[in-house]
């Protein structure tokens, strides 16, 4: 929770004199363009003192990795704009201004995701407005072409000790938040949703006004909250638009320096052979902060992880941590039926009952006892509420140093809850070649969990490198002239008596016979001896190309790849970028054409500079690669980027510097970059001055003159402009605006507006996100025949009559979950009433059909084996036909099931025959006989046609069909529609009970 405190002047005990300044309101306005967001936070406070002037301290969260590029304070209509200074100098100037009675402000970074503003000499009864402008890269979300914008509003209580100067005594979160964000995507928007808040979306333009037929633009939208919300949880917005996953390379020329910033981003899509063996360790946060929904979500995620592990030679273990840590098994154990059962019991009984959050001890346990003969994949499930992130990251990096190519370590982090520490979950994934995903309360997690497991089971592309300049080919930049970015040359002393380190051979070089693998596809020389080490005079560090991250992240499925570079003004620009890497199946390659952004913009420089600073702060930069014991990959990257040391007029590629000088150089580079591009950092702060009193306040970074989104492509994209399109939607919590692309594309022909005209322009539509119910949904009456209270395997109440066919859950996720309860470790399913119910049949009838299949097969299987084969094919057919929208969630379990069938039957012809029989049974179950249609028509009464009943039986959303059909008849009330739906079910509609049409 962000908060502003003030202190009475003259009080010696600052704690006793501290009070909260009432936070009146927080507003967010900004723009989203593809995978980047620019936004301004505006917080309004009121000094309640009628006579006394006060000093105030304001603490608030920001998203990890966001670049703070502007700060402004407004008091009594006067705007006080800030500028970045070195931290100590900024603090000194603030204190001097405050002592002189001037209005002053200071913005400091306390941690990568916690900032603090100090305001001095606020007049009595005065309103204070704080404005902070940020650039932020948006994360990939679970779906295709989908990005996620996160606005942290809460600093949750964290385990451990923060910096002494950070004030985090927080009030109740009864403060208001308003949001007004515009979207301007390169291609048509297909979905906008918020899993955290109720939003209203205006499609067609970014102004929020109702577009006309001529002005409608399907790639633009404006998002607002339906009403102001409390600051009690993070605001999350998920935008889906065509083409977001495609490779994109943008270049920007800085208007002042002439340097060029280049950004490459895309979602890797490639096919590689999966790993046959690995160690999978699940680290589960069971601390007190996980109580309630987070621990429930963690248990569900863990169960889905365990059920989806392939049957090959994999090992697994589970570690729960709190005050201490406990393992399910003494060491990782083979994945089999017995161990899976124990793991599922653990997941289903998970409780947040282990006290504090001693996370690092759990990782130390893993690294000490992990297997050394296979890769280790770690999955962290946590709310991330700890302060000492740096020690944990250092522990992970130490383990990474010991890894080898065949027993590497990767960590994937799943942040759970509405107040997750983004810095922790992102840093863990970044440090260990994995990635992070976030799940807020009420959000579906299945796709994220499965995608994470898929990514872990497929080998990543490593040794990634980008060719940034045509001049250097794939090796050194021509640096004979000593070209470098002005202001970044550091002169320091070389460590004496330390040998030069050899440059590692280029692991991307091939013999020329193996063609490279396309990195965005739907199908998956010895160096000369180094020169002697000089001792004096101190060297210059020359950096022709600044790359961030310095060591590019590995390419893995499900993780957006983004990399930045800043090139000197004299470095020639390429027409295309070439990205190369290596994989177990051979070399990989991707070529991307470069597009220029609008002249005069600085957005790419801000994002690249923020990434450079993060590298330097996390000790993974080009400067640290010049230190002692640098890994071979870092030495190789130094050579590729042309980074070198010059001493006495001579060039040295690998001169190891002592730790002391590396630390000093890194700090100086952070200062240089932050001051040049006006960014807050570990060593810089914002200071601003009241113009009227000539006071400087410490809180502003480079102020971009453009209010709109920071870049626009030179080659604009034209879109069809449909008329009378529904342009206003209201989405309930965890609801999404699903914008049917058919309505956009159907209007491409001029004058053909028939389909669009069927939408009332003033109509407000609620849409549910992945079948999640909104808090405003009305619970159906308990006696409703269409809303069963019993799922698969439920026990009958005492005295209840036994029914062979149990009721089927309505929600598709619940149906899948219940079905998977029957899947065995090897992937097979038993022939039980629950499986038969999916096809409106009984076990006896299915056995009769199985007998016919066996007569035509040459396979020699026992009765139980044949039943398992038959039931498994039926379960797979049901998932493919009736749960097709959840394919990403059941894909791994279906693969496991089909492999089991093929292993048991062996004969491909027999396997095909069983699958065909299952498909035929499924098709037959979805049809009503002529007699059933007549019976249903008589029971339902007049006014509903045979086509509606038939459509009801065959539709994936039968209740909707009946409702729409009855509405078309214009003579049915809601009650009659529900009665019709009930009678259709009683008449024999497919899949047992159907949901109510209300």
pLDDT digits (tens, 9 = 90+) for 680-711: 999 999 988 775 644 333 443 333 333 333 33
Reported as a pLDDT band with limits 50, 70 and 90, residue 629 is confident
Q: Please report whether residue 827 resides in a domain.
A: yes
pLDDT tier at 105 (50, 70, 90 boundaries)?
A: confident
Q: In the listed set 457, 486, 513, which residue is the last one of a domain according to the structure?
A: 457
Identify whether 706 is part of a domain: no
pLDDT computed for residue 183 by the predictor: 94
Q: Give mean pLDDT, residues 663-679.
A: 92
> Domain holding 385: CATH number?
3.40.50.410
Q: Binning pLDDT at 50, 70 and 90, where does residue 513 land? A: low
Residue predicted with more confidence, 481 or 843? 843
Q: Are 650 and 584 in contact (CB under 8 A)?
A: no
Rounded to an integer, what distance in angstroms lies between the CA atom of residue 338 and that of residue 739? 46
Q: How confident is the model at residue 87 (pLDDT cuts 50, 70, 90)?
A: very high
Overall average pLDDT of the 934-938 stretch: 51
What pLDDT, on a 0 to 100 scale, did the predictor assign at position 719?
A: 31
Q: What global pTM score does this model have?
A: 0.72
At residue 610, the pLDDT reads 95
Beta bridge partners of 737: 192
Domain-located, residue 891: yes
More confident position, 508 or 744: 508
Choose the final residue of a domain: 437, 457, 477: 457
- pLDDT class for 20, splitting at 50, 70, 90? low
Residue 761 pLDDT more than 80? no
Number of C-alpha atoms within 13 angstroms, CB side, residue 938? 7
Please choose, from the candidates 687, 698, 673, 699, the residue with its C-alpha nearest in 3D space to the C-alpha of residue 606.
673
> What confidence score (pLDDT) does residue 669 get?
92
Residues 132 and 40: beta-carbon distance below 8 Å: yes
Long-range contacts: 659-668, Cβ < 8 Å, 24+? 659/627, 659/628, 661/492, 661/493, 661/495, 662/623, 662/624, 662/626, 662/627, 664/492, 665/490, 665/492, 665/541, 665/623, 665/626, 666/616, 666/619, 666/621, 666/623, 666/624, 668/490
What does the alpha-carbon distance between residue 122 and residue 697 come to, in Å, rounded to a whole number? 12
Average the pLDDT over 650-666 and give the result.
78
Q: Is 80 exceeded by the pLDDT of residue 712?
A: no
Residues of the chain with pLDDT > 90, as a percent, come to 30
Look at 786 and 529; give whichever has higher pLDDT. 529
State the Cα–Cα distance between residues 30 and 286, nearest whole angstrom.
Answer: 37
Q: Categorise residue 463: left if φ over 0, alpha if ψ from -120 to 50, beta otherwise.
A: left
For residue 208, the model assigns a pLDDT of: 65
* 233 or 694: which leads in pLDDT: 233
Q: Which residue has the tokens 């279906």?
A: 894
Of residues 569 and 483, more confidently modeled: 569
Percent of the chain at pLDDT exceeding 70: 68
Residue 329 lies in a domain: yes
842 pLDDT higher than 50: yes
Whether residue 609 is predicted with pLDDT greater than 90 in this model: the reply is: yes
Query: Is 918 within a domain?
Result: yes
pLDDT tens-digit map of 555-594: 887 788 999 999 988 888 888 999 999 988 889 899 999 9
Q: Give the pLDDT confidence score for residue 855 in this predicted structure.
A: 87
Element (H, E) at 41: strand 36-46
pLDDT, mean of residues 853-871 = 89
* pLDDT tens per residue across span 113-125: 888 888 888 788 8
The mean per-residue pLDDT over the stretch 867-891 comes to: 91
Q: Which domain holds residue 823?
A: 812-934
Answer whether residue 603 shows pLDDT above 80. yes
Average pLDDT over residues 818-835: 91
Output the CA–CA distances (angstroms, integers) from residue 327 to 361, 376, 825, in the order listed.
12, 16, 21
pLDDT bucket at 243, cuts 50 / 70 / 90: very high
968 belongs to a structural domain: no
- Distance (Å, rounded) from C-alpha 121 to C-alpha 548? 41
In a domain, 755, yes or no: no
* pLDDT for position 672: 93
In angstroms, the CA 167 to CA 15 distance is 10
- Phi and psi (nearest 5°) for 166? -85, 125
Mean of the pLDDT values across residues 217-241? 88
Residue ranges of alpha helices (H) inside 618-716 are 622-625, 632-640, 659-677
Coil, strand or helix: which one is 530?
Answer: coil
- pLDDT at position 40 over 90: yes
Quick one: average pLDDT of 336-342?
93
Greater model confidence, 742 or 75: 75
Q: How many CB atoms lie within 10 A of CB 479?
A: 19
* Alpha carbon 996 to chain centroid, angstroms: 35
Which ranges of 26-175 would DSSP assign to H, the alpha helix?
87-99
Q: Which of 137-151, 310-324, 844-858, 926-940 has the lowest mean pLDDT?
A: 926-940
Report the pLDDT averaged over residues 430-435: 89
Which range is most confident: 343-352, 509-518, 718-727? Answer: 343-352
- What mean pLDDT is predicted for residues 924-936? 54
Rounded CA-CA distance 927/923 in Å is 7
- Highest mean pLDDT range out of 370-379, 454-463, 567-576, 753-762? 370-379
Pairwise pLDDT comparison (251 vs 211), residue with the higher score: 251
What does the mean pLDDT of the chain come to? 74
Beta bridge partners of 82: 688
- The beta-strand segments (E) located in 383-422 are 409-416
pLDDT band for position 667 (cuts 50, 70, 90): very high
> Mind listing the pLDDT tens digit for each residue in 263-306?
999 998 887 888 889 999 999 999 888 888 888 888 988 998 99
Q: Residue 770: its pLDDT value, please?
A: 39
Confidence of residue 191 (pLDDT cuts 50, 70, 90): very high
The interaxial angle of helices 930-940 and 974-986, nearest 10 deg, is 150
Q: Which helix (H) or strand (E) holds 854?
A: helix 843-855
In 3D space, the residue among 104, 63, 65, 100 whose CA is nearest the CA of residue 81 turns out to be 104
**Residue 133's pLDDT is what?**
93
The answer to whether position 927 is within a domain reads yes
Residue 762 CB coordination number (10 Å): 9
Write down the pLDDT at residue 164. 46
pLDDT of residue 62: 86
State yes or no: pLDDT of 541 exceeds 90: no
- Pick the most confident of 153-167, 187-201, 265-279, 628-642: 187-201
Q: How many CB atoms lie within 10 A of CB 54?
A: 23
pLDDT in tens, 5-17: 666 554 444 444 5
Place of tokens 């949703």: 193
Residue predicted with more confidence, 180 or 734: 180
Contacts (Cβ under 8 Å, ≥6 apart) of 59: 2, 3, 110, 114, 115, 116, 117, 155, 166, 167, 168
Total tally of structural domains belonging to the chain? 2
Determine the pLDDT at residue 124. 81
Write down the pLDDT at residue 58.
75
Q: Which residue has the tokens 């002393």?
A: 493
214 versus 298: the higher-pLDDT residue is 298
Of 438, 457, 476, at which residue does a domain stop?
A: 457
3-state class of 424 per DSSP?
helix
* Predicted pLDDT of residue 519: 59
pLDDT above 80 for 470: no
Q: Which segment of 410-424, 768-782, 937-951 scores lowest on mean pLDDT?
A: 768-782
Q: Taking 60 as the threshold, does the pLDDT of residue 809 lie above it?
A: no
Those residues with Cβ within 8 angstroms of residue 669's Cβ, 6 or more apart along the chain or in another chain: 488, 490, 612, 616, 621, 623
């Amino acid at each position: 929770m962000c908060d502003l405190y003030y202190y009475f002047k003259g009080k010696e005990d600052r704690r006793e004199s501290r009070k909260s300044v009432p936070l009146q309101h927080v507003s967010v306005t900004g723009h989203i363009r593809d995978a980047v967001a620019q936004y301004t936070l505006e917080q309004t406070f009121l000094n309640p003192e009628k006579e006394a002037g006060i000093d105030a301290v304001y603490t608030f969260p920001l998203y990890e990795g966001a670049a703070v590029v502007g700060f402004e304070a407004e008091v009594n209509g006067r705007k006080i704009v800030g500028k970045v200074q070195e931290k100590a100098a900024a603090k000194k100037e603030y204190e001097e201004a405050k002592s002189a009675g001037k209005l002053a402000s200071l913005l400091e970074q306390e941690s990568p995701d916690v900032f603090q503003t100090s305001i001095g000499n606020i007049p009595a009864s005065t309103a204070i407005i704080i404005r902070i402008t940020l650039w932020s890269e948006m994360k990939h979300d679970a779906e295709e072409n989908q990005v996620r914008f996160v606005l942290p509003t809460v600093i949750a209580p964290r385990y451990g000790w923060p910096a002494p100067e950070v004030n985090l005594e927080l009030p109740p979160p009864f403060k208001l938040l308003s949001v007004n964000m515009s979207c301007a995507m390169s291609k048509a928007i297909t979905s906008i949703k918020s899993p955290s808040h109720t939003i209203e979306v205006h499609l067609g333009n970014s102004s929020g006004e109702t577009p006309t037929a001529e002005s409608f633009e399907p790639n633009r939208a404006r998002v607002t909250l339906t009403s102001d919300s409390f600051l009690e949880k993070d605001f999350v917005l998920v935008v889906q638009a065509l083409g977001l996953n495609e490779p994109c390379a943008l270049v920007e020329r800085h208007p002042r320096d002439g340097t060029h910033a280049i950004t490459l981003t895309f979602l890797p899509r490639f096919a590689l052979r999966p790993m046959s063996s690995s160690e999978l360790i699940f680290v589960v946060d069971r601390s007190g902060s996980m109580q309630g929904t987070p621990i429930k979500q963690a248990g569900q995620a863990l169960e889905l992880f365990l059920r989806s592990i392939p049957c090959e030679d994999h090992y697994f273990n589970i570690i729960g941590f709190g005050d201490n840590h406990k393992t399910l098994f003494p060491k990782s154990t083979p994945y089999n039926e017995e161990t899976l059962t124990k793991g599922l019991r653990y997941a289903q009984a998970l409780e947040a009952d282990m006290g504090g959050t001693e996370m690092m001890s759990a990782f130390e346990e893993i690294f000490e006892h992990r297997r050394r003969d296979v890769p280790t994949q770690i999955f962290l499930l946590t709310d991330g509420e700890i302060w000492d992130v740096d020690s944990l990251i250092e522990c992970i990096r130490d383990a990474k140093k010991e890894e080898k190519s065949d027993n590497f370590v990767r960590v994937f982090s799943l942040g759970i809850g509405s107040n997750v520490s983004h810095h922790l979950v992102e840093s863990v994934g970044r440090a260990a070649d994995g990635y992070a995903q976030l799940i807020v309360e009420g959000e579906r997690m299945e796709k994220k969990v499965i995608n994470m497991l898929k990514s872990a089971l497929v080998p990543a592309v490593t040794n990634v490198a980008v060719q940034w300049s045509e001049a250097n080919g794939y090796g050194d930049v021509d640096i004979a002239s000593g070209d470098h970015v002005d202001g970044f040359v550091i002169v320091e002393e070389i460590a004496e008596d330390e040998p030069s380190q050899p440059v590692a051979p280029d692991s991307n070089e091939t013999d020329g016979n193996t063609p490279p693998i396309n990195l965005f596809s739907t199908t998956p020389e010895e160096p000369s001896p180094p020169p002697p080490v000089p001792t004096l005079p101190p060297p210059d560090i020359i950096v022709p190309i600044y790359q961030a991250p310095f060591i590019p992240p590995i390419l893995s499925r499900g993780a957006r790849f983004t990399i930045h570079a800043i090139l000197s003004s004299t470095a020639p620009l390429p027409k295309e970028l070439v990205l190369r890497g290596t994989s177990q199946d051979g070399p990989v390659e991707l070529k991307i054409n470069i597009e220029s952004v609008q002249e005069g913009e600085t957005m790419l420089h801000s994002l690249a500079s923020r990434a450079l600073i993060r590298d330097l702060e996390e000790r993974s930069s080009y400067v640290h690669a010049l230190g002692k014991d640098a890994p071979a990959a870092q030495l190789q990257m130094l050579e590729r980027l042309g980074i070198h040391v010059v001493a006495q007029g001579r060039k040295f590629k690998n001169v190891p510097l002592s730790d002391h000088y590396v630390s000093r150089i890194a700090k100086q580079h952070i200062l240089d970059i932050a001051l040049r591009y006006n960014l807050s950092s570990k060593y810089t702060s914002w200071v601003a001055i009241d113009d009227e009193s000539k006071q400087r306040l410490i809180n502003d970074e480079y102020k971009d003159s453009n209010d709109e989104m920071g870049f626009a492509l030179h080659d604009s994209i034209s879109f069809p402009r449909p008329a009378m399109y529904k342009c206003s939607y209201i989405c309930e919590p965890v609801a999404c605006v699903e914008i049917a692309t058919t309505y956009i594309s159907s209007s491409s022909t001029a004058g053909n507006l028939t389909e669009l005209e069927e939408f009332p322009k003033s109509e407000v539509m609620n849409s549910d996100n992945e079948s999640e119910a909104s808090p405003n949904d009305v619970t159906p009456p308990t006696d409703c025949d269409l809303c069963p209270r019993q799922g698969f395997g439920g026990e009958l109440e005492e005295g209840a009559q036994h029914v062979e066919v149990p009721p089927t859950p309505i929600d598709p996720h619940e149906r899948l979950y219940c079905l998977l309860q029957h899947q065995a470790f090897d992937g097979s399913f038993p022939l039980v009433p629950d499986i038969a119910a999916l096809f409106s049949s009984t076990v006896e009838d299915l056995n009769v059909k199985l007998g016919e299949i066996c007569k035509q097969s040459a396979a020699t299987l026992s009765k139980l084996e044949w039943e398992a084969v038959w039931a498994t094919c039926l379960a797979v057919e049901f998932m493919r036909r009736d749960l097709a929208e959840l394919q990403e969630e059941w894909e791994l379990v279906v693969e496991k099931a089909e492999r089991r069938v093929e292993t048991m039957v062996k004969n491909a012809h027999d396997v095909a025959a069983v699958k065909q029989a299952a498909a035929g049974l499924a098709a037959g179950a979805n049809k009503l006989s002529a007699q059933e249609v007549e019976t249903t028509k008589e029971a339902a009464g007049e006014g509903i046609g045979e086509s509606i009943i038939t459509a009801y039986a065959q539709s994936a959303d039968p209740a909707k069909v009946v409702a729409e059909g009855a509405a078309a008849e214009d003579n049915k009330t809601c009650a009659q529609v529900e009665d019709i739906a009930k009678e259709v079910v009683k008449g024999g509609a497919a899949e047992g009970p159907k949901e109510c049409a209300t």
